[in-house]
């Protein structure tokens, strides 16, 4: 189920509230009020994607907007300037990474574009060309020795007995952290050895094939199940593993590693083995092939072996020429 057209009844109260806010196109609108109205509308009606209204989870957008609303409190959306955005970037850089700032400004940019098209507001977009430049990606991935060490240390981690199985699943499926933590048992199909994901970052459902290691991890988790969630404690879903994962990394002597590194490890190992980037992208749930191309440089050795296989076709020719010269 890739896209779902919204066919829902909009609460009359929301209709009146949104209409009263939108009717005065010439009036200036406070930044926080603009954000609140935008989130309410897209949360109820959905966003516009490829000309269609589609359901979206606005919680990620809401989280991104928190710091924007705090910083731009007292300002109007019409009065927002490129200088304001530049000041916001400098303010946030002392606290978070450039990638976080890019996500926050992307959410603001989408909201401004939505208001321009759907509400017919005459707005300029001050975020254009103001996002921090993105450095060429250098993806960190684990060596096989690091991966084994990490699993061994996690296996005997008293406070998080499930963590080693989480790591095994992540490295063998390439699933995102929240996709794994949100898993319920009804998504697991033993007959087809697969997991069916409905809520994904791209908004498209996908099927994740399971190898023997992933099946082993799920079977171990199934033996101690206590509720609908695959990863749970006392029947309640585990919300995050940030602290326990960092603790295990320290015990293993592994630096510059986060749960997302496990996803990169999965993709990198497959790329090194010469697997199709298209197929890797499909398993990872990438929206397009350009995202997967970050792993292309890992296939240099494989490509060298591929062209080297032609050597034998001309081997006799070179040997014969060498003999004639000697």
Q: Identify the CA nearest to 6 among candidates 47, 50, 59, 38.
A: 47
Residues contacting residue 313 through CB under 8 Å, at least 6 positions apart? none
Residue tagged 């759907």 (tokens): 118
Give the confidence band of 135 by pLDDT, cuts at 50, 70, 90: low
Average pLDDT over residues 290-301: 79
Question: Residue 1: its pLDDT value, please?
Answer: 41
Question: CA 257 → CA 146, 171, 204, 263, 267, distances in Å?
Answer: 10, 13, 28, 11, 15
Separation of alpha carbons 66 and 246, rounded Å: 26
Q: What is the pLDDT of residues 18-33, one digit of tens each?
A: 555 555 555 689 999 9
222-234 burial, b for 16+ CB within 10 Å, e for fewer?
eeeeeeebbbbee
Alpha helix positions (H), the chain: 12-23, 31-45, 59-71, 82-93, 98-118, 144-155, 163-173, 177-181, 212-223, 242-252, 259-272, 277-284, 289-292, 300-308, 311-325
- Collapsing DSSP states into helix, strand and coil, what is residue 72? coil
Separation of alpha carbons 130 and 92, rounded Å: 13
Report the Cα 80 to chain-centroid distance in Å.
Answer: 29
Question: CA 251 → CA 133, 155, 238, 258, 261, distances in Å?
Answer: 35, 12, 22, 14, 17
Average pLDDT over residues 61-72: 95
Question: CA 146 → CA 138, 271, 272, distances in Å?
Answer: 18, 18, 16
Question: CA 223 → CA 172, 208, 216, 218, 230, distances in Å?
Answer: 20, 21, 11, 9, 10
- Asked whether the predicted pLDDT for residue 8 surpasses 80, the reply is no
pTM of the model: 0.57
Lowest mean pLDDT among 41-45, 90-94, 189-193, 303-307: 303-307
Two tokens at 69? 């609303």
Pairing of strands 188-189, 194-197: antiparallel
Q: What is the mean pLDDT of the chain?
A: 85
More confident residue, 222 or 305: 222
Average pLDDT over residues 250-277: 94
Cα pseudo-dihedral 181, 182, 186, 189, rounded to 10 = -50
Task: Please give the full DSSP string across 189-204, using - where no structure is assigned.
Answer: ETTTTEEEE-S-TTS-
Two tokens at 217? 């991890």
Average pLDDT over residues 250-270: 95
Q: What is the pLDDT of residues 204-240, one digit of tens each?
A: 889 999 999 999 999 999 999 889 999 998 888 999 9
Average pLDDT over residues 112-116: 94
Separation of alpha carbons 283 and 203, rounded Å: 15
Alpha helix positions (H), 57-191: 59-71, 82-93, 98-118, 144-155, 163-173, 177-181
Domains of the chain with bracketed CATH: 12-118 (no CATH), 144-304 (1.10.443.10)
């Amino acid at each position: 189920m890739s896209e779902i057209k919204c066919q829902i009844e909009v609460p009359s109260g929301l209709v009146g509230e949104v209409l009263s806010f939108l009717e005065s196109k010439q009036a200036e609108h406070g930044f926080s009020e603009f954000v609140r109205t935008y989130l309410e509308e897209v949360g109820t009606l959905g966003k516009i994607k490829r000309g269609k209204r589609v359901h979206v989870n606005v919680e990620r957008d809401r989280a991104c907007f928190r710091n924007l609303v705090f910083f731009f409190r007292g300002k109007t959306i019409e009065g927002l300037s490129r200088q304001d955005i530049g000041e916001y970037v400098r303010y946030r850089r002392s606290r978070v990474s450039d990638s976080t700032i890019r996500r926050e400004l992307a959410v603001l940019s989408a909201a401004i574009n939505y208001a321009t098209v759907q509400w017919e507001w005459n707005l300029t977009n001050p975020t254009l060309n103001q996002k921090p430049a993105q450095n060429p990606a250098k993806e960190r991935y684990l060596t096989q020795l690091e991966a084994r060490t990490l699993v061994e240390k996690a296996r005997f981690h008293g406070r998080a007995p499930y963590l080693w199985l989480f790591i095994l699943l992540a490295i063998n499926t390439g699933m995102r952290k929240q996709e794994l933590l949100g898993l319920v048992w009804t998504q697991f199909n033993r007959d087809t050895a697969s997991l069916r994901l409905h809520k994904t970052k791209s908004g498209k459902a996908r099927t994740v094939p399971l190898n023997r290691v992933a099946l082993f991890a799920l079977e171990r988790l199934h033996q101690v199940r206590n509720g609908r969630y695959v990863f749970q404690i006392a029947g309640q879903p585990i919300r995050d593993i940030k602290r326990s994962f960092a603790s295990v990394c320290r015990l293993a002597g592994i630096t510059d590693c986060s749960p997302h590194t496990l996803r990169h490890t999965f993709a990198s190992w497959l790329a090194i083995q010469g697997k199709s980037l298209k197929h890797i992208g499909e398993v990872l749930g990438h929206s397009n092939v350009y995202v997967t191309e970050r792993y292309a440089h890992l296939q240099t050795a494989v490509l060298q072996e591929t062209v080297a296989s032609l050597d034998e076709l001309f081997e006799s020719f070179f040997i014969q020429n060498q003999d004639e010269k000697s």
